[in-house]
Structure 1
Amino acid sequence: MEKITWRSLFKTGVVLLTVFTLAACNAFPSFLEALPFVKSSEPSPNLQEATPVAQKNIPTPTAVAPGASGVLAAYEGTLEQVYQKVNPSVVSIRVVSQVSAVPQSFPDFPFFFDPFGNLPDTPQIQEGQGSGFVWDKEGHIVTNNHVVEGADKIEVTFSDGYVVPAELIGTDPYTDLAVIKVDVSADRLVPVTLADSSQVQVGQLAIAIGNPFGLSNTMTVGIVSATGRTLPAGETRYSIPEVIQTDAPINPGNSGGVLVDAQGNVMGVTAAIESTTRSNAGIGFVIPSIIVRKVVPSLIANGKYEHAWLGITGTSLTPAVAKAMKLDEEQRGALIIEVAKDSPADKAGLRGSTEEVKLDGSTAMVGGDVIVAINGEPTQTIEDVIAYLATKTNVGDQVNITILRDGKEKTVSVTLEARPSSKQTASATSGQVYLGISGVVLDEALVEGLNLPKDTTGILIQRVQADSPADKAGLRGGTRPVSINGRMVLAGGDVILAIDDQAITSLKDLQDVLAQHSPGDVVNVTILRNGRERTVEVTLEARP
């Protein structure tokens, strides 16, 4: 993970060992019983007794509580056994790619070398490093999509130093997973064992093994910090649900490695971190095994994975939004903001939000259907909807969606379809033309959290669709996931402030402006980039 998210991640950490006090000794027996491997605390017969050395005025060391050494030995023994079990399954991955040369100097002046904005196209060789793990005895290895994306050459190094080339078998950018394959004898392949990530609990031991900063066979330790996080999926407009958060040190190079439990079973694939320094800050994100178990077999068999698609964008219902919709302020659910044309949701008659209101100084869209359950399972947030579709449905499934519409509950039957490719979809579209971006409306929390100028209003671009008008004009999407007040957004993208001098403060503003134009029209988009305002000409196209 690179930067702070999808490019090479992770670094060696220091295991913090607690000196237990006598008062805590009563808790030791149950802790010891929970550990699968216990290292004997008996002294080795080969150790020689040290010769005492006379010293003066040295304070007496604080006594370690009885039983503490046994707990420490058990803890160390667990880590040693986990490493011995899992390390042979983890590999280092080196990729070589041919890329166009991009000037590295003067990043705020992309046209510095050519007043006409033509960047040199002389190809350069770029190397990257990541991690992976053995999936089966046939030579399949799982890693992150962003580790091998665009690679011209892939090289795998096993834990014993054996190096072998690999070929790409399948990728899925929507879950940031990929499968490569090596041709080696079966006795060199040690497949991992998957844990059930749906049973992972906050506070349990979390052990990461990977290739941080190219330091192969590195193990770091922490705990599961949180579960049920949602992470933006690479360069797509979708999200990965049920992500595990850990404080086990993860750094660039750990991407594609494993996070295992105390039994050495894989809870998930290390994928991203949140940091301002591009190295461990105690917040790492892991693609859960429940997603890995579902996606990887399809990548091996078909080279791709088809995701069940509903065709909505939405947000979690808050007390303020519920009140604005004349609902009980304690009502929870997923408010539909937009319904994609000809999507399963559209065909089933689900409705998006059409009314614009001001809440705490920010603009919000309200009035759409509120999803409160799928197949009888409650959905209290938009993350619940994403997680249910990703983990419990398949293409072609018929689901019963319970909604609130105008304050009344009703159930709608929807037949899920395959998620269309990015070339078939565009987020910010209206009428005949489209821009080709997905974004979030800035509010006070985002402005403050992203260190934007005070009172900035507009739309923060999250993704730019490939080959769209926005892409061709050079508009930039976000590059690093950050959590602001518990909300995951991609930071670093352009902020759309205005189009043809019409201020853009909401999604409706953007839709209204686009609705005034036809394919071929050129609009001047005012953006905020790296703290500076600039205007970019965009030629609009017919929506795909």
Structure 2
Amino acid sequence: MSNLRDRRILIGIAVVVVILLSCTCTLPALGPSAPQTKQTPLVVVVTATPATDRTDEPPRPETKLPQEQIVIDIYKRASPGVVYIQVIDREDEEGGGSASGVVYDREGHIVTNAHVIEGADAIQVYFSDDTVAEAEILGTDADADLAVIKVDVPSEILVPLEMGTSAHLEVGQLAIAIGNPYGYERTLTVGHISALGRVLRQESGFSIAEVIQTDAAINPGNSGGPLLDSSGRVIGVNSYYRPSNPIGGSVGIGFAVPVDEVQQVVPDLISYGRYRHPWLGIRGYALGPEMVRALALSVEQGALVAEVIEGGPSAGAGLRGGTEKVEVPGYPEPIPARGDIIVAIDDRPVHDMDDIITHLQRTRVGQTVALTIIRDGEQITLPVELGERP
């Protein structure tokens, strides 16, 4: 009996010990504070197995938005057709500069900006496969800010970019620029078409019409590179205009020469080394409310012909310029008045001189245009054969 009683006592003691040990393990989790923080390392044991299991799981595939994939694919396809241009100019304090270019065909023709290669003593072209070639200048057109250079490399190195059209662009479309800003090769920036139909005055006094404005970053070195649409086609050749702020760099306003102008000018630069711009040979002003009142005009919109250049196409056709000068509020100088007012060209309404410039950009030297004019209160149609801009 005593042995049985002793065994029962031992079993009871063991049960009490187990219960006490269980309570000891759970008490720290039940209390409002953590006085037994020294025991917390015991918790680490339970995390080992799940951590090992997670490392065996296959990595999740990266997800890209459809628009991101479009841009990625365009960059991979178009980047080899964008070159880095290094210009050596011994008279320049910095020794030259860098820019971008578009591979135009497999004959070695590369399109860039005219201002990029101005004054160049030597030009080096760097391709995406690290090929470096010397380039020669075939032709330039400062008024359109376009130039063509040529390299002699194997045709397999040349990846011509597909040319699109700028005729049907809309504000809001995706605009993708690839170039070499500040010497950083094949940099991509993305934005949208911010505006269309801009007319930019050149230092020569003439203008580029139908220029594309974009908020894709265009910085020094992007000049001459392509502006692409969402299909990867060239819609313009980027041209950098230094902002007036002292910081420099992109301010969200970049410009590109429209590809339709490129397609019109470049073949002539390749064949003849220059482009013959059509020319009317006039100077004029857009009609405004103050001018209409001051000159007592019978129409409220159009382009007032202030001067007809002697010996020019319009002079030969009989167009008349101003015969007397009149002070007009808001104008710094007297306006040559009493000249013809152009209200349409080839039946396209004319609101200002920019409309005439834009239309002429679509024509050729030797082509005849019909000017609808107001003279002494009467409407007249006057044919003018376009000459070559001097």
Higher helix share: 2
**Distance between the aligned counterparts of 1:192 and 1:346, measured in 2?**
43
Secondary structure, in 3 states, of the residue corresponding to 1:221?
strand
Which of 210, 214, 221 aligns to 1:246? It is 214
**Distance between the aligned counterparts of 2:331 and 2:307, measured in 1?**
22
Which of 354, 358, 364 aligns to 1:387? It is 358
Cα distance, 1:137–1:315 mapped onto 2, change above 3 Å = same
**Distance between the aligned counterparts of 2:215 and 2:242, measured in 1?**
11
Gaps of 5+ in 2: 1-56
Match of 1:326 in 2: 296
- After TM superposition, list the pairs within 5 Å mapping 1:439-458 onto structure 2: none
Q: Which amino acid aligns with 2:238?
A: T
Structure 1 residue runs of 4 or more that deviate by more than 4 Å after TM superposition:
none
The C-alpha deviation readout for 1:251-306, integer Å capped at 9, x for no partner, is: 01111011111001111111133522321001111100111000000000111111
Structure 1 residue 75: deviation in Å? 1.2
Q: Which amino acid aligns with 2:287?
A: L
Match of 1:75 in 2: 67
- Relative to the length of structure 2, the TM-score reads 0.81
**Distance between the aligned counterparts of 1:306 and 1:360, measured in 2?**
36
**Distance between the aligned counterparts of 2:338 and 2:172, measured in 1?**
40
Match of 1:303 in 2: 273
**Distance between the aligned counterparts of 1:131 and 1:85, measured in 2?**
17
Q: Which amino acid aligns with 1:341?
A: E
Q: Is the 8 Å Cα contact of residues 274 and 283 (structure 1) preserved in structure 2?
A: no
Structure 1 residue 85: deviation in Å? 1.6
Cα distance, 1:346–1:77 mapped onto 2, change above 3 Å = same
Secondary structure, in 3 states, of the residue corresponding to 2:71?
helix
Secondary structure, in 3 states, of the residue corresponding to 1:98?
coil
**Distance between the aligned counterparts of 2:256 and 2:306, measured in 1?**
28
Which of 163, 183, 194 aligns to 1:194? It is 163
Does 2:89 match 1:97?
Answer: yes
Which of 190, 206, 212 aligns to 2:181? It is 212
**Distance between the aligned counterparts of 1:86 and 1:336, measured in 2?**
46
Q: Is the 8 Å Cα contact of residues 148 and 270 (structure 2) preserved in structure 1?
A: yes
How many pairs were matched up?
330
Which of 260, 273, 279 aligns to 2:241? It is 273
Structure 1 residue 79: deviation in Å? 0.7
Does 2:321 match 1:352?
Answer: yes
**Distance between the aligned counterparts of 1:379 and 1:358, measured in 2?**
21
Q: Is the 8 Å Cα contact of residues 298 and 377 (structure 2) preserved in structure 1?
A: no
Q: Is the 8 Å Cα contact of residues 252 and 278 (structure 1) preserved in structure 2?
A: no
Secondary structure, in 3 states, of the residue corresponding to 1:76?
helix
Q: Which moved more, 1:303-312 or 1:350-359?
A: 350-359
Q: Is the 8 Å Cα contact of residues 294 and 328 (structure 2) preserved in structure 1?
A: no
Cα distance, 1:361–1:129 mapped onto 2, change above 3 Å = closer
**Distance between the aligned counterparts of 1:171 and 1:267, measured in 2?**
20
Cα distance, 1:303–1:385 mapped onto 2, change above 3 Å = same
Match of 1:86 in 2: 78
Q: Which amino acid aligns with 1:302?
A: Y
Rg bigger for which structure?
2
- After TM superposition, list the pairs within 5 Å mapping 1:488-507 onto structure 2: none
Give the alignment's Cα RMSD to 1 decimal: 2.0
Q: Is the 8 Å Cα contact of residues 259 and 267 (structure 1) preserved in structure 2?
A: yes
Structure 1 residue 125: deviation in Å? 6.9
Q: Is the 8 Å Cα contact of residues 291 and 328 (structure 2) preserved in structure 1?
A: no
The C-alpha deviation readout for 1:328-377, integer Å capped at 9, x for no partner, is: 56x22122222211111111121223322231374441332221111212
**Distance between the aligned counterparts of 2:58 and 2:218, measured in 1?**
37
Q: Is the 8 Å Cα contact of residues 274 and 281 (structure 1) preserved in structure 2?
A: no
Match of 1:134 in 2: 103
Q: Which amino acid aligns with 1:160?
A: D
Gaps of 5+ in 1: 1-44, 50-68, 101-123, 421-544
Secondary structure, in 3 states, of the residue corresponding to 1:301?
helix
Match of 1:372 in 2: 343
Q: Which amino acid aligns with 1:371?
A: I
